[in-house]
Amino acid sequence: MAEDHPDRNRRKLYGRRKGPKLSQRQAGLRRTLLSALAYVPGGDPLTQFPNSVREVWLEVGFGAGEHLVWQAAQHPNVGLIGAEPYQMGMAKLLTKLEETNLNNVRLYEGDGSDILQALPDASLGRFFLLFPDPWPKTRHHKRRFLQMEMLDQLARVLQPGAELRFATDDKSYLRYALERLMTHPGFDWLAKGPGDWKNRPADWPPTRYETKAIKGPPTFLRFARRAKIAA
């Protein structure tokens, strides 16, 4: 692996888990549907999906779950793991899933790094981090998900050629993410021109945040895990 970057091994802190009080329906879905779809970190993730699933993707911080549900519906042979510590976000996704017949989604109500640390090498076909909290204050940058140690984990668990997809509307986080992704020896930027990061790809559906709460022009980054990583 490359030389140590200054933010490797920093402690990671994340935002709140609880928000507004859940409705009776939402609370019920957390007790029933979330239990049925719960993902347990550890071991081969394929064993937690139906036999028809041939590949596993992970989305960390899925918000209200629009993107996750769309990807699961479009790729029935892919298992989608969604990690979200915020209870209301999880409740909103459960409401969407209750109205579908999708059987290729598994959910983890907690820190996505728990999943990454427990995954076997080269076990993911794609990773999504879309419009995460930018933690704009400098003293809070250590809370940002894309730390160098997290990229180490992603390089380990992503299959060669697998995509890491990142989106943000925060210029500070964009610079921060590009600095780390371009420095890390495990990833190659797939962009060939400005349109590749200014325009949302066709297989990258918009989220509620992107359509209603966005603060500036979004940027869509696609990086591929290198086939070989320099020592």
- Cite the active site residues: 133
DSSP string, 121-132: TT-EEEEEEES-
**Residue 195 DSSP SS3:** helix
CA 211 distance to own-chain centroid: 19
Number of other residues whose CB lies within 10 A of the CB of residue 217 = 8
In whole angstroms, give the CA distance from residue 61 to residue 90.
10
Question: Do the beta carbons of residue 167 and residue 220 sit within 8 Å?
Answer: yes
Question: Which structure tokens are listed for 93?
Answer: 């996704």
Question: Which structure tokens are listed for 91?
Answer: 């409740």
Alpha helices in 43-170, H assignment, sequence order:
66-74, 87-98, 112-118, 148-157
